Structures are given as structure tokens and as C-alpha cells.
Structure 1
Amino acid sequence: MERFCGRFTDTLITINKEDYALAKQKFHLKKNGKIEYVPGIGIDLKCITAMPEIKDELRKDLHISKGDIILLSVGELNDNKNHVVVIEAMSHLSSNIHYVICGQGPNKDKLEVLAENLKLKRQLHLLGYCDNVPSIVKSCDLFVFPSKREGLSVALMEAMACGKAVACSKIRGNTDLIDEKGGALFDPENSDSCMRAIKDLLNRDLTEMGKYNRKKVEGFSREKVEDCMRKIYCE
């Protein structure tokens, strides 16, 4: 359908580099039609920066010891967000690692049962809907993003803006954002791959990687996206 409609399209806007390359290769637009790349929908860096860290409060509420490690994911509890692969990976990691998820959805019971079967119930914390996600992200040790499909994830960009290193699935969109200087990529269908990525990152300098991600995500700010859109529509 997209390729068919391309024949009537003046400008096709893509938000990740894989889609941009694919459109260049396979889409035939109307005469003088253009394919443009825009870096996502943009994030409000100033707002995210202003949100406070709540590390001590979060650890107290979840009964997580000061020396324990917090992995965090943000996203609906569904098959695509793929939290299962992280829980499975945790069964091969240290018992002082906790997995916190901000989000709600149909897989809540499934995730809790899996954690109980793997003897990880104490280490899984499902927070449900949260209205202070950036504060929670700033309070974790490592952001984990295991989705099977994404365009260009706002949650992932916000984690970068919070100065966090990231372990994420090797899929379109994610590969635009995360490289070895800011994190590690893993196969979303393979819990061993996920486990190795997390283990590798926990042995590296997460602070420096977070600083790199914070700088890199400036290229995906709301201001940058608005500039791109203004040029597309006004020039």
C-alpha cells in the first residue's frame, strides 16, 4: 500500500535511516517527488533535564539495597516490547540485579509468572503507569530496551537524554541511536545475547557512556526536528 501510494506522493518523510534507505531503493514517487529523513518526532531536552533524580526514594519504595543494580525498561507490557527476554536473561545474571518496568498492559500476569518460575520474583518490579518517568530513568543504573519493532523510540531517546547507557535490541531505529560508545545491541529473540550485552555494559564505565548518549541525542531534539520540518514544508 505504501509503495502504491508513493506514486501520488510529493514528499515522503521517514524517521529512521533504515526506512530512508529502503524508501530510496523501493519507492517510486511522482515526478519530482522527494524522500526526506527527519530524526524522529523530537524530544524536549530542557524538560527532561529539569526532572529531578529520585534514586534514594525509588530504592526505599522497592526495597532495593544501595549496592544492588537497577535495570529499567519503559513501555507497555505486551509481546512487542519483549520484556520476557530480559527476565530470561536475568536468570543467568547476579542475584543483586533488579529489573524495574514502567508501563502497564496485558502481559503483566505472564511476566510475573515467568519471574516466579525462574525464582526472580524478588527482582522484578512492575510499576504500572508512571507520570515521572524521566526521574525514574535518572535513578536507574542501566536502561534496557528489548523491543522487537520500533520506528524511532521516544522512550529510548529520553533515556539517552537522562544520561544513561543502554542495552537495546538490534532493530531499525535503535541502531540510529545506540552504538558501542553509548551501549550494546542484542538479538531480541535471544536471551543469551541480551544477557551478554547487559553483563558487558555492567563491566564498563556507564557514566562516560551516558555522557556520550546525552550529547548524541541533542541531534534528535524537538528544535532539530522542527528545523527539518520547516525546511521540508517551507522551502
Structure 2
Amino acid sequence: MKIALFTYSTKPRGGVIHTLELAEALQCLGHQVCVYALDKDCIGFHRPLKCPSKLVPTKPAAQSIDELIKQRIQEFIDYLIKEEEKYDIYHSQDCISTNALKVLRDKGIIPHFIRTVHHIDEFNSPYLQECHDRSILEPDLCLCVSGYWQQQLKQQYQVDAPVVINGINTQKFSSKPNGLETQLKQSLGITGNPVYLSIGGIEPRKNSLKLLQAFSQVLKTYPQAQLIIAGGDTLFDYKPYRVEFFTIAKQHNISVGESLILPGVIADRDISILYRCADAFVFPSVKEGWGLVLLEAIASELPVITSKIAPFTEFLDHESALLVDPYDIKTISIAMLDILNKDVAQKLINNSVSIPAQYSWQRSAQIHLNLYQKLLLN
């Protein structure tokens, strides 16, 4: 099969990681796969790929978010209209490329297209909401990554979306040191005890404000503790939210670069090492498609604190993670203290260590292939 996968970015966000890992797994199964992505900074993907890719050039970002989305959709359209390569499958992983593929299908340039919904968003902008709704309602086949979002797609859009699982590369993420941990700690200034890690950047969906406030309570007991919040490259800048975040840090005398480390997007060669530099993984997110970083942390044998919400509860329970109310700062801070108990941490690790084996990209690729075949037969 010839398969084209589409994603809105070359940066390591969850949906992009899903796209690349799926592409490589499909390629390993003997199919011809090409990844198309908007290349917003002209430096390509964050890591080398094991399959072909084509980078869609972009212009400087428009001023308003509505105009930016219109621009990005049109950039995909302009590039793909000139594309001579034809595929059996056109599969988008996001709203932007889905809207572009809809235009191409309606023009008869491509026969059909698929979209994977990682989570459902809500926007104040009528234009953005229309784009989002269209990206769910228009595909010839809609997929999703968890039972929770399958249920939500049915309830909110009357769309039947088969579940395609996420995966974890256990060759990459493990507890086995590679000798570079000390070097990374030195370069990032990781000297604390204990060290908490969270990945996803500073934004509302990641619940960064309450995480920071919970950490301020931990510092009262462990003044040498550090919180690392890595990642954060996103389409939206969340400026007001970030301003509030740094205001809270200042109010609680949390020093950026000392107690709080914000390294931004971590190089692919370092991300697996970073997990091994932490004592616990804290992820009180309020909305996720699945939570790939949780699988990465678990594969790295880190004890995990996360929100007691779906889809996390589809693969985690109270025996394998400390599940908290993400809106309760005190509950999060108590969990951050409790997880330092060696017996508690080891119990969580022991009870979660078998989870990654259930989620391989090879299995995900096979599920996708079965669905691709059904679409082609219809």
C-alpha cells in the first residue's frame, strides 16, 4: 500500500509523535509511507525518520489565530495541488491538514481521506470551531485513540470512530542508563532532591498553574526540590496563561532556573535520558487524547502521578499510579509528597511495568492496516 500521513508540525507534540511512529511502523511492515508536515521553522523534523517525508513550506505567521489557521490550511492545499505522487491512503492527524484534504477530495484530486481525532477541542472563534467540526464530520473514515474519545465522538457528532491505539518504543524508553545522564543534568541544571518531571509545556490543558501551586507546597517540606516542565511548542502562545504562571512563581519565590527548570523542547536524543534524571513524573492534565508521555515515563520505570480522568483511567488505576483530582492543589501536592516514599514508588513501578508491552506501534500499525483495507474495499 502507498500511504500518505499528514501532520501540522515537525515539533514533538503528541499527535506528531503518533504520526511519525505510525509511519515508521507501517514502513517496517513493507508499505510505502510518506509523511507530509508543515515546516514552520525550516529545520525539519526533530529527529531523522526511517521513512520518506515531504516538508510543506510556510510563510511567517499571520497576526490573528483565525488568519493563521486559514493560512496554514491554504499552504497545505497549495503544496498538495502540485503534488504528482498518488497514494492509496490519505490520512490526517489534525484539523489543519484534514481541512486541506477535504478541499482536495471535493475537487476530485484525491479519492478519499481519513482523520484520527486525538481529542475534541472547543473554541470561542466561530471560524475555528467550524474548521474543527468539519475535520470530524467530513472524513470518509474517522479514527480515535481511546475509548473515551470514541464515546465523545458518538455523543457529540454521531460519528462512529474505531479506536487505534497509541504505542511506546521500549527500545528507546527504558530505565537502563546510557552514561549521559550526568551530562544532561549538568547542562540543564538538575541538582535537586527530589526532582519532579512534567512534559507538555505551560498551557491550560496541561494544568500548569495548579501543578506549580502544588509544587510550591512541596518546597515547604523539601526546599531543595526541583520541578522540570519540558516541551511546549504549540500553535497557540497562551500568553495570558503564561503571564499568570510566572506571576505565581514570583509570588511563591520559585526561582526559574533553580527550583523551576523550563528547558523548552528537548532534543530527541535527550528525551529518554531526561526521564532517568527524575524521581517522579507528575502530569495533572485536564484533557489529553491518550497521554503518550505517561507511557514513556512508565517505560522508564518512573512512578507516576496523573489525573483521575479518562482516558488515563483506561490504562491506569490506583495500583499503578497516584490518581488525583486535577483541580485540587492540595491533593496534587500530597501525592507529590507521598510518591517520595520508596515503598509507594516501588509498588507503582511494579504494578505499571507490564503496561507498555500492551501498546506497541507494530500493533497499532496492524490495526490501521485492517481499517485501511476496509475503506479501500468499500
Determine if the TM-score, normalized by the shorter chain, exceeds 0.5.
Answer: yes
**For residue 45 of structure 1, what is the amino acid of its counterpart?**
T
Q: Does the 8 Å CA contact 1:15/1:151 hold for their aligned counterparts? A: yes
Residue number in structure 1 paired with 2:164: 38
User: Superposition pairs for residues 119-138 of structure 1, below 5 Å?
Assistant: 119-121=253-255, 122-131=258-267, 132-138=270-276
Distance 1:175 1:53, change over 3 A: farther
Residue number in structure 2 paired with 1:88: 213
Q: Does the 8 Å CA contact 1:53/1:136 hold for their aligned counterparts? A: no
Residue from 222, 225, 228 that aligns with 1:100: 228
**For residue 13 of structure 1, what is the amino acid of its counterpart?**
L
**Structure 1: distance between partners of 2:373 and 2:172:** 28
- Give the number of equivalent residue pairs: 226
Query: Greater Rg, structure 1 or structure 2?
Result: 2
Q: Does the 8 Å CA contact 1:97/1:123 hold for their aligned counterparts? A: yes
The reply to whether residue 193 of structure 1 matches residue 331 of structure 2 is: yes
Q: Does the 8 Å CA contact 2:228/2:260 hold for their aligned counterparts? A: yes
Deviations 1:101-157 (A, max 9, x none): 112465555434322311222411111221111110122000011222110122222
Residue number in structure 1 paired with 2:301: 163
**Structure 2: distance between partners of 1:168 and 1:199:** 14
**Structure 2: distance between partners of 1:224 and 1:164:** 24
Offset at 1:14?
A: 2.4
Offset at 1:69?
A: 0.5
Q: Does the 8 Å CA contact 2:137/2:157 hold for their aligned counterparts? A: no
The alignment partner of 1:215 has SS state of: coil
**For residue 120 of structure 1, what is the amino acid of its counterpart?**
I
Q: Does the 8 Å CA contact 2:280/2:302 hold for their aligned counterparts? A: yes
**Structure 1: distance between partners of 2:227 and 2:339:** 15
**For residue 310 of structure 2, what is the amino acid of its counterpart?**
R
**Structure 1: distance between partners of 2:366 and 2:290:** 18
Paired-residue identity, %: 20
**For residue 230 of structure 2, what is the amino acid of its counterpart?**
C
Q: Does the 8 Å CA contact 1:164/1:213 hold for their aligned counterparts? A: no
Deviations 1:62-89 (A, max 9, x none): 2525xx1000001122222222212111
| TM-score normalised by structure 1 residue count | 0.80
Structure 2 unaligned blocks of 5 or more: 1-132
Whose relative contact order is higher, 1 or 2, with alpha carbons under 8 Å and at least 6 apart?
Answer: 1
Distance 1:28 1:84, change over 3 A: closer
Structure 1 unaligned blocks of 5 or more: none
**Structure 1: distance between partners of 2:296 and 2:276:** 10
The alignment partner of 1:205 has SS state of: helix
Q: Please tell me the root mean square deviation across aligned C-alpha atoms, in Å.
A: 3.0
**Structure 2: distance between partners of 1:198 and 1:206:** 11
**For residue 71 of structure 1, what is the amino acid of its counterpart?**
Y
Distance 1:76 1:202, change over 3 A: same
The alignment partner of 1:47 has SS state of: coil
**Structure 2: distance between partners of 1:27 and 1:52:** 47
Distance 1:27 1:63, change over 3 A: closer
Distance 1:54 1:82, change over 3 A: farther
| TM-score normalised by structure 2 residue count | 0.52
User: Superposition pairs for residues 168-179 of structure 1, below 5 Å?
Assistant: 168-179=306-317
The alignment partner of 1:46 has SS state of: coil
Distance 1:190 1:205, change over 3 A: closer
The reply to whether residue 154 of structure 1 matches residue 295 of structure 2 is: no
